Structure 1
Amino acid sequence: MNIYCNRLLGAVVVIAANAGGAWTPIGDVTTTMLWIHGQISTLQTIKGLIIPSLVSLTVPLALMSLTSEVNGKGQDSPNILASQQMAPRGQLVFCVGIGALVFVPVFKALTGLPPFMGMLFGLGVLWILTDAIHYGESERQKLKVPQALSRIDTQGALFFLGILLSVSCLESAGLLRELANYLDAHIPSVELIASAIGVVSAIIDNVPLVAATMGMYDLTSFPQDSEFWQLVAYCAGTGGSMLVIGSAAGVAYMGMEKIDFFWYFRKVSGFAFAGYAAGIAAYLAVNNLHISLPSTLAQVPFLSGS
């Protein structure tokens, strides 16, 4: 019973990770790509996508809690989550790391420089901090930034680089524009196009998929923060939850818990799809009813920057 509950808990973490990354420019690679290239801005993305993202998580949780399997197998399961106190220095590094991530949109809004400059600045601060707090402790060299950098998945980075270069070649050849014209002629609804992109992202990695979408449509076709780009950010981010192979979180979960593809498909995919569809419906409802977050958010300087 514990194993079953652990698997369901891991599946919920996958859904939550994908939903949580969709509503901020730095939460997911795809939203970051759209933000860097100017398709979405910080404040409008948060205002437009936080409610659909919450819905896409809440609906699967609610449906899972109503199933007899979860109720029957979870009642007698002991609490296996043990709390562990983080060391003070670890808390400091953690807080500085989170602050460095949050600082990226602030840095871009204040300086106008590319976001990667803000990330490198935050990395430099962490580098100095870890060197300072572990100075003279040879047994703690593994906790310093240089050691962490040595564990970067270079092969994975080169894989994505190759995919993005291939997408750029298709764009230069004009094939992506032809595909966009075909979709516009046969699927006139931008909502359906964005929704289809999300469904396909459950099979194909969302990074090249979003890169191809940006090559198919430019800012003259759909301006910044238009409904299309916001839906692409949401759909590409959360659509990967529908299959365990559809996102990096799902692949990591499959490797850590030795999850079978068909187990996830039978037990989780239906709930994830329901949340995905409910999130799209929530976005359209919010847009049509002009519901938004409190206007006081607009007074935050870095949120109003693109």
Structure 2
Amino acid sequence: MASEKMAPRGQLVFGVGLGALVFVPVFKSLTGLPPYMGILLGLGVLWILTDAIHYGESERQKLKVPQALSRIDTQGALFFLGILLSVSSLEAAGILREISTYLDANIPNVELIASAIGVVSAIIDNVPLVAATMGMYDLTSFPQDSEFWQLVAFCAGTGGSMLIIGSAAGVAFMGMEKVDFFWYFRKVSGVAFAGYAAGIAAYLAVQSLHFSIPTTVAQIPFFTGS
């Protein structure tokens, strides 16, 4: 059993890694920076630590952070990191606020704004688009679970299907099935747009009839026993 225990250096790395995760909310409250910046700081500390404790040991290079990162989906991680950094930069520069002000001044209601966001998601991936929308409108403008955010979630999630390049799944479909853009546009885009428009119409109809849509599991009668 003694041989199965974690080595002291392993315990150190595990403890520092766990501490880095716990430190993220503290970092956020102390600096006001986004949580992912705290995660990157923790990763940097782990990187330095593993390089230091395994310095000069060629047979233990696989235990260093660079080797660990080589075994994960680095491209996906960098994609989302780039999105977060870009959106934060636009928000800090005030560009997202200017866009929201322009939309509010030129588009008469929030339903049209959410619908327009869904149409744009057919060209731009919905992840950066929703992240940008969250930077444009804060919870003081539209509270959590408000009609606007529900409609944005639907529109951004389904609007990307109108063009094959609008979602990661569509791009993967192009590669796997050798489908080109124009085939998808002729065969699928019209149906996808019809479903998109029908979904918006159905949602607005439900809202106009003042039906209460559950936003948590506890509000679903089946789970509450009522």
Same fold (TM over 0.5): yes
Superposed CA offset, 1:4-26 (max 9, x none): xxxxxxxxxxxxxxxxxxxxxxx
Deviations 1:261-284 (A, max 9, x none): 100000000000000000000000
- How much does 1:293 deviate? 6.0
Give the structure 1 partner of residue 116 of structure 2.
196
1:135-154 matches, cutoff 5 A? 152-154=72-74
Q: What are the superposed Cα offsets for residues 154-192 of structure 1, whole Å, 9 maximum, x if unpaired?
A: 112202211220110110111111111111011121001
Q: Which of the numbers 143, 153, 156 marks the counterpart of 2:76?
A: 156
- The Cα offsets for residues 185-230 of structure 1, whole Å up to 9 and x where unpaired, read as 1112100100000010010111111111111100111111111111
Q: TM-score, normalised by structure 2?
A: 0.63
TM-score by length of 1: 0.47
Rounded to whole Å, the distance in 1 between the matches of 2:148 and 2:213 is 20
* Cα separation, 2, equivalents of 1:205 and 1:299: 31
Q: Measure, in 1, the Cα distance between the counterparts of 2:72 and 2:120.
A: 28
Single out whichever of 244-253 and 277-286 deviates more from structure 2.
244-253
Q: Does 1:234 align with 2:177?
A: no
Matched, 1:219 2:160: no
Give the corresponding residue for 2:17: none
| Counterpart-to-counterpart distance in 2, 1:243 and 1:285 | 26
The aligned residue for residue 16 of structure 2 is none
1:272-291 equivalences in 2 (<5 Å): 272-291=192-211
The answer to whether residue 79 in structure 2 is matched with residue 168 in structure 1 is no
Compared with structure 1, are the counterparts of its residues 285 and 163 closer, same or farther at alpha carbon in structure 2 (3 Å cutoff)? same
Q: Following the alignment from structure 2 to structure 1, what is the Cα–Cα distance between the partners of residues 106 and 161? A: 27
- Tell which has more relative contact order, 1 or 2 (C-alpha 8 A, sep 6+): 1
**What is the SS of the residue equivalent to 1:160?**
helix
Query: Within 2, Cα distance between the matches of 1:293 and 1:225?
Result: 10
Unmatched tracts of structure 1, length 5 or more:
1-148
What is the 5 A alignment of 1:91-110?
none
Q: Does 1:257 align with 2:163?
A: no
1:258–1:167 Cα change, 3 Å: same
- 1:89-128 aligned at under 5 Å gives the runs none
Residue by residue, what CA displacement relative to the aligned partner does 1:46-68 show, whole Å, maximum 9, x if unpaired?
A: xxxxxxxxxxxxxxxxxxxxxxx
Structure 2 residue runs of 5 or longer lacking an equivalent are 1-68
Equivalent of residue 107 in structure 2, options 157, 170, 187: 187
Residue in structure 2 matching 1:248, options 168, 187, 190: 168
Q: Identity over aligned residues, as a percent?
A: 86
In the alignment, which of 112, 127, 146 is matched to residue 207 of structure 1? Answer: 127
- Structure number, greater radius of gyration: 2
Q: Given residue 288 of structure 1, which amino acid in structure 2 is its aligned partner?
A: S
Aligned-residue RMSD, C-alpha: 2.4
User: Which position in structure 2 is the counterpart of 1:140?
Assistant: none
- Please give the alpha-carbon distance, in whole angstroms, between the structure 2 residues aligned to 1:176 and 1:293: 30
CA distance in structure 2 between the partners assigned to 1:210 and 1:247 by the alignment? 13
Matched, 1:178 2:111: no
Question: What are the Cα deviations for residues 101-138 of structure 1, in whole angstroms up to 9, with x where unaligned?
Answer: xxxxxxxxxxxxxxxxxxxxxxxxxxxxxxxxxxxxxx
Q: Which amino acid aligns with 1:273?
A: F
